[in-house]
Amino acid sequence: MEVVLYILLGVIGLFILPTMCLSFFIFRALVMRPGKEGWGRQPSMPSDNEYCRLYDDAMEWGRLHADDYIDVEIENDGCRLYGQYFDFGGSSAVIILPGRMEACTYSYHYAWPYSKSGWNVLVIDPRSHGRSDGRFNYLGFREYRDVIAWTKLLKERFNINKVVLHGICIGSSAALFAAVSKDCPDSIAGIIADGMYQCFYDSCRCHMVRDKHPLFPFLFETMLYIRMFCRIDPKNDGPKKRILDMHRPILFIHSKEDPFSVPEKAQEMFDRCPSQAKFIHWFDHGGHSRLRLTDPEAYDKAVIDYITKL
């Protein structure tokens, strides 16, 4: 018995503990805010030239409309949440929901077609980003409740009766979760899902394959940490499951070159969606979350054509 025990302890010490430690660092990088100043309103990837071009475009929109916004805030689930509301005199508004590590200034990049169309724009710091409270990114599983709270603010304070949720990557998950929630306000007229994945497990797996990192046991252990600390199921729950309850209008935007929200699974999501007002716009080229940068005219036209139908 003692020999067996020593062997087990040796296996744990030599193999299990080291991989669990490495997986914990992956978990932290993915969903845990790196300190109060992390995931702020500054560029998240300053060494990525393409990303910097996207952010420069966002800052240009921000400079053009520097006098058009007011700072807004709400409290939800015990978190103070912050954003900026741009009033262009319209009766409709968009809430732009950025992806992981991004705050409200990043969302300016996606605001161009709305301001051109006279729609008001709400950009937000999701929980654990920018000036908002929070420790974890919950992959949309809790953030969707914040989205509903922001929608109520638009109704009660600014008399906005038509809202579109425009989500990018994880932001599109939050948009979908809000739209299918039993608490979804009637004012949410539809959503735009840019690069929405089927589940976070799939997206994470694609990242690890692209970066040539071993999947076993790190992917399993990372998902285990997410379940333990965030109390969510990143593999068996997510957009693929929730899309079955989506009956509001929805526009899917995807790239045929997306390595993370791969085209085949994006098409599956579209096919599974029961909405009678569902649309999909494909881009032949462009990276994940970079489609508007690749072809802004086509992107803005797809958005404008969609919101005109609502």
pLDDT at 310: 95
Helices 143-158 + 170-180 axis angle, to 10: 70
Strand pairing of 69-76 and 79-86?
antiparallel
pLDDT-derived band at 9 (thresholds 50, 70, 90) equals very low
Look up tokens 């039993």; give the residue. Answer: 182
Beta bridge mates, 167: 97, 193
Task: Specify the pLDDT at position 15.
Answer: 61
Q: Supply 272's token pair.
A: 């599974």
- Domains in the chain, CATH or no CATH each: 1-31+201-233 (no CATH), 37-198+238-309 (3.40.50.1820)
pLDDT for 240 equals 96
Lay out the sheet containing 69-76: strands in order across: 69-76, 79-86, 120-125, 92-97, 162-168, 188-194, 250-255, 278-283
% pLDDT > 70, the chain = 95
pLDDT at 37: 84
Q: What is the pLDDT of residues 237-250, one digit of tens each?
A: 999 999 999 999 99
Interval 38-42 mean pLDDT: 94
pLDDT at 281: 98
The average pLDDT across 210-228 equals 91
- pLDDT band of 17, cuts 50, 70, 90: confident
What value does the mean pLDDT take over residues 70-92?
97
Global pTM reads 0.94
Q: What is the pLDDT of residues 112-159, one digit of tens each?
A: 999 999 999 999 999 999 999 999 999 999 999 999 999 999 999 999
